Every structure is written in structure tokens, then in C-alpha cells.
Amino acid sequence: MSLERIYVVRHGFRSNWLVDPVSGVYSSHIPSPTGLAADPALTSHGVSQAEELAAHLAQVEPAVEAVYSSPFYRCMQTIDAFVRVNNNNKNNKTLKIRAEQGLGEWFGLAPFSHPRPAPIHQLAGLFPSSSIEQSYRSVCVPEERGESLARLRDRVSSTARAIIQRSDEEGVRAVVLCTHAAVVITLGRVLTAAPEAVDEPDFEAYTCGLTVFCRDKYYYYDDDDDDDDQQQQKQKQKQKQKQKQQQDSPTHVSRSKMSTSGR
């Protein structure tokens, strides 16, 4: 059995923070549970969004069998709502969150170091210890002084490829990834091999929005091996992706075909 669905969600509505562009000092008027200014919790509205998303994810088919999340608190808090709902049903497979830094926030290039998420042992103390897979090790770690868009794509591509490969090995049919706006958009581009232009509008990233990637047919795309068949398949993937995107309430849901793209 191999992976059929990837459910990609963005974290819920969060409180804000500020950063001094010269010194790189981050600050926030609302204390963070982790003590990091750039690692805020969800607002009350964000908590409500997470609960609504949790109820929806608990009903999807195929059911979620593995959970990956950015280690930043807002993402962990968002997906923890679903994990608790799932695990409260004794008929469901017990799920644990795999904190993956490869799904972490994108920070642009800067002459100073950007914030890192809290370590796993600290997160385990903030969430029920049974909800976090503490033995899991991240596939990728974002660069300390930020990333260009090209480096962001490389990071997200490597992370997605590793998650897909592990899911296939574990016989998992569906996974959910909880992450941030820039990564949601980049995941869409990596998984569908579209669009060609970086500035072309494509995937949206609403708070607690859900994008579903369906793996009907897949291929491995290699930049160094652009034969005609691959080009034709890539064009078909682009057409299918545009046809399949749709909106659904109460959460924004878009559905896209999934390729296993190495771009």
C-alpha cells in the first residue's frame, strides 16, 4: 500500500510579533508559551478555527494515518486539536505528531540569525506527551540566516520527498502536514510541478485552510532529464491542478493532483 492523499493545512490565526530589521531583535506584546517572541500562540479565533478543522479532518477519507507539523507553537497547537479528537475515539489509530523542521517557517535572507522553534522536550511539556513522537528526527533544518525562494523550494522538496518515501514504506495511505503560508504555497508547487513562473498566482494559504493532494499517477521529475514524455505529463498535471482546485466551507479546501516532483 502506498500514499494516496496529502492533506496540507496552515496554522490558525495567531497573535503578531515585530522584528527590528537592523538588529534582528524580535519582540511581541503577548508572551509566547515557548518564551520565543516569534513563536506566538493562536488567538481565540485561531483556537476556534483549529477545532473546526479538527472536526473536518476527523471525517476525511482516506483517514489520516500520520501527522507532520512545523515545530513552531502555532502549528503544533493547530494540529494538536485534531490529534486529540482522533485519539479520543478508541476506534481510530492512535496518532502522534512528528515535529518536522523542514516544514518550518520561511524567513528571508538577513545579516542576522532568525528564531529557531522550541526543542522537542520543551514542546512535550506544553502538549500532552503522548501526542508527540519524541524519537522522530527532522529531515531538513532551515538555514539560520534565512533562505532565498530557490532554497525554500529545495528544502520543501526534500522534505516532501522524504515524507512520501517514508509513508510508502510504512504503508500509510494519508498524511496531514501542518505548516506556514509560504510552505503551503511551495508544497503546492512542488507536488504539482506548477506553475513555471515564481510570480504566477496559484495556491492560496488561508489560516486553517486545507489543500488536498490526490496521488492518482505519479512520476519523478529530474531537471537533467527533460524528455518529451515527462514534458507532456507535466503539462497534463498543470491542467489537472487548475481544474481540480475548488472551494468548500467551512474551511477553504482545494484539491489538486499530486506528482512526486524533485523540482
Measured CA to CA, the distance from residue 256 to residue 242 in angstroms comes to 8
pLDDT digits (tens, 9 = 90+) for 88-131: 998 999 999 999 999 999 999 999 989 899 999 999 999 987 79
Q: Which pLDDT does position 13 carry in this prediction?
A: 96
212 Cβ contact partners less than 8 Å away, ≥ 6 residues apart: 5, 6, 7, 8, 60, 253, 254, 255, 256
The angle formed by the CA atoms of residues 28, 97 and 105, to the nearest 5 degrees, is: 40
Phi, psi of 147 (to 5 degrees): -135, 145
Give residue for cell 503544533.
Answer: 76
Measured CA to CA, the distance from residue 225 to residue 214 in angstroms comes to 25
227 Cβ contact partners less than 8 Å away, ≥ 6 residues apart: none
Measured CA to CA, the distance from residue 259 to residue 256 in angstroms comes to 10
Class of residue 201 by CB neighbours under 10 A (exposed 0-12, middle 13-18, buried 19+): exposed
Give residue for cell 520543551.
Answer: 122
**Percent of the chain at pLDDT above 70?**
82
- 90-99 burial, b at 16+ Cβ within 10 Å, e below that, comes to eeeeebbbbb
Residue 25: band (very low, low, confident or very high) from pLDDT cuts 50, 70, 90: confident
Q: For residues 99 and 132, is the Cβ–Cβ distance under 8 A?
A: yes
Q: Which pLDDT does position 217 carry in this prediction?
A: 54
Kindly state the DSSP code that residue 18 receives in the 8-state scheme: E
45 Cβ contact partners less than 8 Å away, ≥ 6 residues apart: 12, 13
Residue 249: band (very low, low, confident or very high) from pLDDT cuts 50, 70, 90: very low
pLDDT digits (tens, 9 = 90+) for 168-203: 999 999 999 999 999 999 999 999 988 777 677 788
Domains and CATH numbers, the chain: 5-261 (3.40.50.1240)
- Element containing residue 183 per DSSP (H, E): helix 181-192
Report the SS3 class of residue 229.
Answer: helix
